[in-house]
Amino acid sequence: MQRSFFQRALIICGIAFFTVSFQNCESNTSQDIAGTDNQKNNTEALNCPVPWQDGLLVINGKSVVAFQSETVAEGESCQQEDRLCTDGTLSGSFQFAGCQVQPAQAQNCAVPWADGLVVEHGKSVAAFKDLGDGTCDEEVRTCNNSELSGSFSLASCPVVSAGSCKLPDGQDLANGMIQKLKLDNTPFADTDCGDYVEYTCTDAVLTSEKKNLECPDQKSCELPWGGALAHGKTVSAYKNAEAKDGAACEGENKEVRACADGVLSGSFTNKACKPKETAKELECKVHFKGGASAATKVKNKDQCLSYYAQIKANNPKSEIVKLTLDKKEIAIPKEGVKGDYVAYKVVGGKKTKLESKKDITLAQARIACRAQVVKDAGVGYECTFNGLMFERVEEPKAKECKIAFQGGGSIASQQKSEDKCKAYWAEVKKNNPQNEIAKVTFGTKVLYTAVKAEKKECKVTFHSGASSASKVADRKACEAYFAEIKKNNPKQKIRSVTFDGQMVFLDTSDMGILKITITKGSVSNGLGIADITLDAAKKRCDSAIKDNPGAAVTCEFNGKIIKQVKEEVPDSKKVCKVFFAGGGSAATDVKDKAGCEKYHAEIKKNNPQNEISKVTFDGKVIYEKKAEDKKTCKIFFASGASVATDVKDRAACDKNHAEIKKNNPGQTITKVTFAGTVIYEQKPVDNKKVCKVTFKSGASVSSKVETKAKCEAYSKEIKKNNPTQKVQSVTFDGKAL
């Protein structure tokens, strides 16, 4: 896996060179990682290779942190384990050196009344429920990350006007109206061509006539290597014209490009691919004092010297004693290595030379390379020193930019950024003026969703609350539908008419002005709403009371009070509650927020062993411990090595201690600290043994001594001090002397 120089860490633990960051690489664990030589200890034990970096080893008896996957979705956590090296075998199974949490993307919501129609995340749509008596209830349904609030499932109220007809697709067609449908009963748009059926409704009688609209000729596509591809045909294309072998020419290097009315899908630009001829590679090996080494494959001496310069720069504390090329020692320049630097830009798999400099040091080459990378983060980069690559930034991976048309069909292209997808979208729109675009996606992200332009809703609402709706082409057609509904329903009084949500007609004869006054303490706010009915005014008043609990609310309609509630006087004291991370809480009544903060500080002082997770005042959170606020749990071994992990609390540190002890049975743990405080320390071993002198009388004396010789000296001293007593026996650690 290639990383940018911002992500890459070049760390030496002991005297080895590698390009992966490890946790807890400290001075007391400096021998955990070995070089490319599988260096043995005194018992000839083997070191262990790691799965994510060729040539990187873990010293026998040491461990390294590994992760189960490189990335996890938002809301999930990275799973890690310690992999212990035992005589050439690495415990565990996790395969990656690092792990990153990927942010999730909010999803749009599908509506229940039309396949393919969505509501964008954060947006709302009106929905209806048929009450069965010619009236409907209405609610607003809001999209929140693929979840649509509410339950009403109709796009409009199904009150059918007199003389209307039922279409094959289930929709109602108003009297005198015409509707075009495809043969599969889906709408026939103005941009469509081919066979369709034209339906006409006349006094509740539906008639139909099959018709045909001739389709225009389809355009062919120009190929990037010359020539043209006919509409509807496909051709194979390659990302790179050369590959390391025949198999590498296939797979991700190959794609099938299709022509659709002058637009060619895909992005690969080479007609063919052939295996690349490779030059003989030589082993360049840097030998460190102590026996470790680092090696790579090069083509010549200059590249070997360049590799030596990289190793030396990344391992300033390690002494290099020898440099060999193909097992032959070569001289190390005393004045330092200088060479030729070249930077390339990588776009579409093709390298383009950006700049070059001669006779400079590796440090100067790195500065020049990084300056190029900063200029444009949207492409890949490769930088070489004497022909040997020392820096590489991967080219961003392309995603599918897909454009779907209103009449069906779609076209797609691989693009590397959202901006380039938008540019491709603009190009397709320009080249296809006759086709309306329905949807544009970049990968899984929706960039554009069109509201069906062929027809929009014309809605007529009566004073009774019932309504009738129809899909019409424009406002003029909506006005005609309004006139028809009014004619066919002479006894019904019409309240309003809307076209695509915009007001066309509104009857204000029974409407008035609503004034709402909200008072809390010494603060008052007013709200005025004109052209509102009494029923609607009462509902708005109820909402204002609900949204302002405890406040005084007065509602007036045309100057007359229709509802009034008084302000609730709150208690003089409110509850301050302190929650602990391990469970449990403490609470008291306080006068204000400052009193709650003082109580929080007092609880924290008196309970140092309990971590506080949250504090609320009158039900509102005034303090909450951040989830990422973790502390270091560090475990020390008798060998001098140590391992550290960030954990939430002491219980997690104890659990980590038990797990490390279980996974390292051959290691003796001497101490464990949590946030710098010692929570476990091994007691010193008492190496002294009992030396016992027994007299013939049955009496005895004893003392703890370290060695057999000291026991003999102790027995002589006892004999000297007790000349009248005869010694029966002398034992050391239970064994007779």
pLDDT, the chain, mean: 82
Q: What is the largest CA-CA distance in the chain?
A: 141
0.75 surpassed by pTM: no
Tallying the residues shown for the chain, one arrives at 737
49 and 56 Cβ atoms separated by less than 8 Å: yes
Contact status, residue 622 vs residue 593, Cβ threshold 8 Å: yes
Residue pair 81/110 in contact (Cβ under 8 Å)? The answer is no
What are the tens digits of pLDDT across the range 413-450? 888 778 888 888 899 888 888 778 888 998 888 888 87
> What is the DSSP secondary structure assignment for residue 661, as one 8-state letter?
H
What confidence score (pLDDT) does residue 213 get?
A: 77
pLDDT of residue 23: 35
| Cβ pair 578, 585 in contact under 8 A | yes
pLDDT of residue 533: 84
Rounded (5°) CA angle 697-703-706: 135
Consecutive H or E run containing 310: helix 301-314
Instruction: Give the Cβ contact number of residue 553 at 10 Å.
Output: 21
Structure letter (DSSP) for residue 187: B
Query: Which residues sit opposite 553 in a β-bridge?
Result: 518, 565
What pairs with residue 643 in β-bridges?
635
User: Cα separation of 730 and 714, whole Å?
Assistant: 10
- DSSP class of residue 667? S
Cα 77 to Cα 648: distance, rounded to the nearest angstrom:
14
How far apart are alpha carbons 8 and 584 in whole angstroms? Answer: 44
CA dist., res. 333 & res. 339, Å (int) = 12
pLDDT of res. 649: 87
The CA–CA distances, whole Å, from 138 to 141, 150, 465 equal 10, 10, 10
Instruction: Give me the pLDDT at residue 34, please.
Output: 45
Give the pLDDT score at 454: 67
Residue 316 CA from chain centroid, whole number: 37
The DSSP symbol for 70 reads: S
Q: What is the mean pLDDT of each run of 10 residues along the chain (737 residues)?
A: 34 32 34 42 65 78 86 81 88 86 76 77 83 75 87 75 76 82 83 82 87 78 88 85 76 86 88 76 88 87 85 84 89 80 83 87 84 71 85 80 82 82 88 83 87 78 87 87 91 89 84 89 82 87 90 91 83 85 87 91 90 91 79 89 88 91 88 91 79 89 89 91 90 88
pLDDT at residue number 330: 87
Quote the tokens at residue 515: 């004034």
Instruction: Give the integer Cα–Cα distance in Å for 127 and 142.
Output: 10
Dihedrals phi, psi of 267, to nearest 5 degrees: -145, -10
Count CB-CB contacts under 10 A for residue 367.
12
**DSSP character string of 415-460:** ESSHHHHHHHHHHHHHH-TTS-EEEEEETTEEEEEPPPSS-EEEEE
